[in-house]
């Protein structure tokens, strides 16, 4: 295996169901990925999606360095079922001074440990349950992701309250303290928002901002 010298967007350690799905999704979005695992069958299953999937003998620091994982801007440690391996692997990656390290946790206790050593923590099963509940509670929400600091990213259907107006006229930043970060129209999604674009009845918008501000926008759009 050759060491990578240029900066790679994402490194994924652990190619179980979660790591495999993450690899496929990032690859489909055209992202550069370095994926590694100690189990050959797992590595083989993602090689249809990325050529940079490698089998490693272990997850100790020397082997991780040989893989080039330290050259990734963001590394996601997708090991959840073994606490000691998860923590040691995450600690090794952090010690390599990777800019951003995200670790999967299967329990609150595991998450606390991972946070203590400096990783961002995700709880996949919990996050999926919350997102499903939000969809069931409010059918007008297409998707919602909660970030740290009470920041939420939410995809919303448009209503007659703002359609046939330009993005500039709607002015969600001034009225609700929200920014439109993506727009879906006629099956196409763009992140380059033209302020003169006229919002259409079947469009969806993705906004980011404080959770309470998003609730205010929902109340305005859907009379919650």
Q: Which pLDDT does position 135 carry in this prediction?
A: 55
CB 139 within 8 A of CB 124: no
Buried b (16+ CB within 10 A) or exposed e, 86-106: bbbbbbbbbeeebeebbbbbb
* Confidence check: pLDDT of 147 > 60: yes
Q: Which pLDDT does position 142 carry in this prediction?
A: 57
Three-state secondary structure call for residue 41? helix
Alpha-carbon distance of 87 to 202, in angstroms, equals 46
More confident residue, 155 or 113: 113
Residue in 110, 51, 57, 33 with CA at minimum distance from that of residue 79:
110
Share of the chain above pLDDT 70, in %: 86
* Confidence check: pLDDT of 92 > 90: yes
Q: Which residues pair with 166 in a beta bridge?
A: 198
Tens of pLDDT, residue by residue over 161-219, are 899 999 999 999 999 999 998 888 887 888 888 999 999 988 888 899 888 898 898 88
Q: Which pLDDT does position 175 carry in this prediction?
A: 93
Tens of pLDDT, residue by residue over 56-70, are 999 999 999 999 999
* Confidence check: pLDDT of 134 > 80: no
Q: In the predicted model, what is the mean pLDDT of residues 97-118?
A: 91
Superfamily of domain 133-222: Regulator of K+ conductance, C-terminal domain (3.30.70.1450)
* Confidence check: pLDDT of 130 > 70: no
Q: What DSSP state is assigned to residue 2?
A: P
Q: Which pLDDT does position 38 carry in this prediction?
A: 94
Q: Which pLDDT does position 81 carry in this prediction?
A: 76
At residue 129, φ and ψ (nearest 5 deg) are -60, -40
Q: In the predicted model, what is the mean pLDDT of residues 65-77?
A: 95
Q: Which pLDDT does position 4 carry in this prediction?
A: 47
Q: Which pLDDT does position 2 carry in this prediction?
A: 46
Q: Which residues pair with 209 in a beta bridge?
A: 152
Tens of pLDDT, residue by residue over 26-48, are 888 888 999 999 999 999 999 98
Average pLDDT of the chain is 86
Q: Which pLDDT does position 37 carry in this prediction?
A: 96
* CATH topology identical between 8-125 and 133-222: no
- The model's confidence at residue 98, banded by pLDDT at 50, 70 and 90, is very high
Q: What are the domain boundaries of the chain?
A: 8-125, 133-222
Topology of the domain covering 8-125: Rossmann fold (3.40.50)
């Amino acid at each position: 295996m050759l060491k990578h010298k240029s900066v790679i967007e994402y490194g994924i350690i652990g190619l179980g169901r979660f790591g495999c799905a993450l690899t496929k999704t990032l690859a489909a979005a055209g992202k550069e990925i370095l994926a590694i695992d100690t189990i050959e069958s797992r590595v083989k299953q993602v090689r249809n999606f990325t050529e940079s999937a490698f089998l490693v003998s272990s997850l100790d620091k020397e082997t991780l360095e040989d893989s080039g994982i330290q050259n990734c801007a963001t590394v996601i440690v997708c090991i959840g079922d073994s606490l000691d391996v998860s923590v040691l692997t995450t600690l090794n990656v952090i010690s390599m001074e990777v800019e951003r390290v995200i670790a999967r946790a299967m329990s609150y206790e595991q998450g606390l440990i991972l946070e203590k050593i400096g990783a961002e923590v995700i709880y996949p099963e919990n996050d999926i349950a919350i997102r499903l509940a939000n969809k069931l509670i409010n059918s007008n929400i297409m998707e919602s992701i909660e970030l740290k600091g009470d920041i939420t990213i939410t995809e919303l259907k448009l209503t007659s309250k703002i359609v046939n107006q330009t993005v500039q006229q709607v002015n969600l930043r001034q009225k609700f303290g929200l920014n439109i970060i993506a727009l879906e129209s006629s099956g196409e999604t763009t992140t380059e928002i033209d302020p003169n674009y006229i919002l259409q009845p079947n469009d969806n918008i993705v906004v980011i901002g404080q959770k309470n501000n998003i609730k205010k926008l929902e109340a305005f759009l859907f009379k919650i």
